[in-house]
């Protein structure tokens, strides 16, 4: 299966560079290029894609607003935000808007390709250098949501591991479970917390004080 990708960035050089990286693969194809959020929303109305690489800071409509519009659709594509600075305040807002992760523009070609494949498979992608700062912003003293009470003890354990950024395989090893069992638990966690993906589950955990940055 070929993963269809949209590139959204107001800088032509960035678009050209990303297109060269993606076009060198056999399983990923660029099908849309857009210069800002307005252009992206219009083009994605006409051409379905699986993953969007979305710049944050763009004229007319920024990546956060565009992400909210794109991910609100039925059968919405996954969105990976691209940020220039690891202190970019829009990263958190973008994740809240529905993005499945974010990368710094200095990420390597291998990291970009891994991110595309990972979010397409349903995983989250968070740039390691910015994750801690993001979680510090999300951590608060608010009471836990009543939705937490829906979780079983084991599902809560799994949520805690998700919040630490662990993959299903790593969670399975840590909790002495099979990977298939972990996958089932993850599905239950997402459904019970009414979140779309692992990134939203991480945000939920930190916003509700279930875990805090180390």
pLDDT at 208: 79
Count Cβ atoms within 10 A of the Cβ of residue 56 and give its class: 0-12 exposed, 13-18 middle, 19 or more buried: buried
Count Cβ atoms within 10 A of the Cβ of residue 108 and give its class: 0-12 exposed, 13-18 middle, 19 or more buried: exposed
Task: Please tell me the pTM assigned to this model.
Answer: 0.73
What is the distance between the alpha carbons of residues 114 and 108, in angstroms, rounded to a whole number? Answer: 10
Give one DSSP letter per residue of the chain, joined into a string. -PEEEEEE-S-HHHHHHHHHHHHTSSSEEEEEEESSHHHHHHHHHHS--SEEEEESS-SSS-HHHHHHHHHTSTTPPEEEEEESSTT-THHHHHHHHT-SEEEETT--HHHHHHHHHHHHTT--EE-HHHHHHHHHHH---PPPPGGGGGS-HHHHHHHHHHHTT--HHHHHHHHT--HHHHHHHHHHHHHHHT-SSHHHHHHHHHHTTS----
pLDDT at 38: 95
Write out the residue limits of the CATH 1.10.10.10 domain(s) in the chain: 139-207
Instruction: Convert the pLDDT of each residue in 62-102 to its tens digit.
Output: 999 999 999 988 889 999 998 876 655 666 777 778 888 88
Write out the residue limits of the CATH 3.40.50.2300 domain(s) in the chain: 3-136
| CATH number of the structural domain 3-136 | 3.40.50.2300
Q: What is the mean pLDDT of each run of 10 residues along the chain (214 residues)?
A: 94 91 91 95 93 92 92 89 70 79 85 90 69 55 72 89 82 91 92 86 79 57
Q: Are 101 and 119 within 8 A, CB to CB?
A: yes
Does the 139-207 domain belong in CATH 2.60.34.10?
A: no
């Amino acid at each position: 299966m070929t993963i269809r990708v949209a590139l959204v960035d107001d800088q032509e050089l960035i678009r050209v560079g990303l297109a060269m990286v993606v076009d060198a693969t056999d399983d990923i194809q660029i099908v849309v290029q857009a210069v800002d959020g307005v252009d992206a929303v219009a083009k994605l109305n006409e051409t379905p894609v699986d993953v969007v690489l979305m710049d944050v800071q763009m004229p007319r409509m920024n990546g956060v607003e565009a992400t909210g519009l794109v991910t609100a659709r039925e059968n919405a594509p996954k969105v990976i935000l691209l940020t220039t600075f690891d202190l970019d305040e829009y990263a958190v807002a973008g994740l809240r808007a529905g993005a499945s992760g974010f990368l710094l523009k200095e990420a390597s070609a291998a990291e970009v390709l891994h991110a595309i494949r990972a979010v397409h498979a349903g995983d989250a992608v968070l740039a390691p250098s910015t994750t801690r700062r993001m979680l510090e912003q999300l951590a608060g003293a608010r009471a836990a949501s009543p939705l937490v009470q829906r979780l079983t003890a084991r599902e809560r354990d799994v949520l805690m591991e998700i919040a630490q950024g662990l993959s299903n395989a790593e969670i399975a090893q840590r909790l002495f479970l099979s990977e298939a069992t972990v996958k089932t638990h993850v599905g239950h966690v997402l459904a019970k917390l009414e979140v779309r993906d692992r990134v939203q589950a991480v945000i939920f955990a930190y916003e509700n004080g279930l875990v805090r940055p180390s």
